[in-house]
């Protein structure tokens, strides 16, 4: 891989974007690399949690490559937008939890990639923004759709229409990130959360994530129906039988 690094350790797959010379900005080639890497790790049975981060402590992803975008016409922009949306949908639909380790800038497409992740953990020097309107464009990789669902419509309206940058403490206050830690503790905290997840049943985790995602936008009754059907279906699996037996027998379950 030209722009990314991959590591698998203790059932945790880590993807590191490695373009520090441009603050890990997203290009079409980088998007394709990430699509391939995420698909690979999602299918890898040795991986239970995926972490995505950027090289260095200055930038997670400082948005898309603006110089490349300057040369795009409408057709080019449509393809670029769909490519970015394809990546964010793969992350969002992953059966394995994806944790964004946000080190430094998460701007534009970088913020949108973090929004697609299931959990966001930020360093205390992290900055988030959807500044596209300052360039005369709008968020095209899911920012107008996911940000309101995470922080609410009023706050999302303000972030997107002003393009203003917020720091990690403000991001934590409004529910955009789960934890804020020092840069030196960022990956350690992500790995701690991943380790807590890995103690649990992988199929139960996957189905829980699917229940949450599939019920967005539905009324409560429809969401409850999805939930109870998935709940009951698990009882025919070896994983559920192992988990219940382990509890009764007062031992740790062997899920993996």
> What one-character-per-residue DSSP string does 67-107 give?
HHHHT--HHHHHHHHHHHHHHHHHHHT-SS-EEEEE-SEEE
Q: What is the pLDDT of residues 222-242, one digit of tens each?
A: 999 999 999 999 999 999 999
Q: Does the pLDDT at position 1 exceed 90?
A: no
Q: How far apart are CA 80 and CA 244, in angstroms?
A: 47
The predicted structure's pLDDT at residue 31: 97
| pLDDT (average), residues 114-140 | 97
The pLDDT value recorded for residue 57 is: 86
CATH superfamily of 4-198: 2-enoyl-CoA Hydratase; Chain A, domain 1 (3.90.226.10)
Can you give the residue ranges of every domain in the chain? 4-198, 202-248
Active site residue 112: yes
- Phi–psi pair at 237, nearest 5 degrees: -105, 150
132 counts as catalytic: yes
Q: How confident is the model at residue 65 (pLDDT cuts 50, 70, 90)?
A: confident
How far, in Å, CA of 15 to CA of 55, rounded?
A: 10
Q: Which of 36, 92, 132, 221 is catalytic?
A: 132
pLDDT by residue (tens digit) across 16-57? 999 999 999 999 999 999 999 999 999 999 999 999 999 998
Q: What is the mean pLDDT of the chain?
A: 96
Taking only the tens place, the pLDDT of each residue in 194-208 is: 999 999 999 999 999
How many Å apart are CA 44 and CA 22, to the nearest integer? 30
pLDDT of residue 83 exceeding 90: yes
Annotated catalytic residue, options 36, 45, 75, 112: 112
Q: How many residues does the chain have?
A: 256
pLDDT over 90 (residue 183): yes
Residue the block writes with tokens 């890898």: 44
| pTM of the predicted model as reported, rounded to 2 decimal places | 0.95
Topology, domain 202-248: Lyase 2-enoyl-coa Hydratase; Chain  A, domain 2 (1.10.12)
Q: Report the side by side order of strands in the sheet with 4-9.
A: 4-9, 12-17, 49-54, 98-102, 119-123, 179-181
């Amino acid at each position: 891989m030209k722009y990314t690094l991959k590591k698998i350790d203790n059932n945790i797959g880590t993807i590191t974007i490695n373009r520090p010379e441009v603050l890990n900005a997203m290009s079409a080639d980088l998007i394709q690399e990430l699509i391939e890497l995420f698909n690979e790790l999602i299918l890898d049975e040795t991986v239970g949690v995926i972490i995505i981060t950027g090289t260095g402590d200055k930038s997670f992803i400082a948005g898309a490559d603006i110089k490349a975008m300057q040369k795009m016409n409408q057709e080019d922009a449509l393809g670029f937008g769909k490519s970015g949306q394809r990546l964010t949908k793969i992350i969002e639909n992953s059966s394995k939890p994806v944790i964004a380790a946000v080190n430094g800038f998460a701007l534009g497409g970088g913020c949108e990639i973090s929004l697609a992740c299931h959990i966001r953990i930020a360093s205390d020097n992290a900055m988030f923004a959807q500044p596209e309107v300052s360039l005369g464009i709008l968020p095209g990789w899911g920012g107008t759709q996911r940000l309101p669902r995470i922080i609410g419509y009023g706050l999302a309206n303000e972030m997107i229409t002003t393009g203003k940058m917020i720091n990690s403490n403000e991001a934590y206050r409004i529910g955009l990130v789960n934890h804020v830690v020092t840069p030196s503790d960022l990956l350690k905290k992500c790995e701690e959360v991943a380790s807590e997840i890995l103690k649990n049943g992988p199929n139960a985790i996957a189905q829980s994530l699917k229940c949450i995602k599939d019920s967005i936008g539905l009324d409560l009754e429809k969401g409850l129906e999805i939930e109870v059907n998935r709940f009951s279906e698990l009882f025919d699996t070896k994983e559920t039988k192992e988990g219940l037996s382990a509890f009764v027998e007062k031992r740790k379950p062997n899920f993996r």
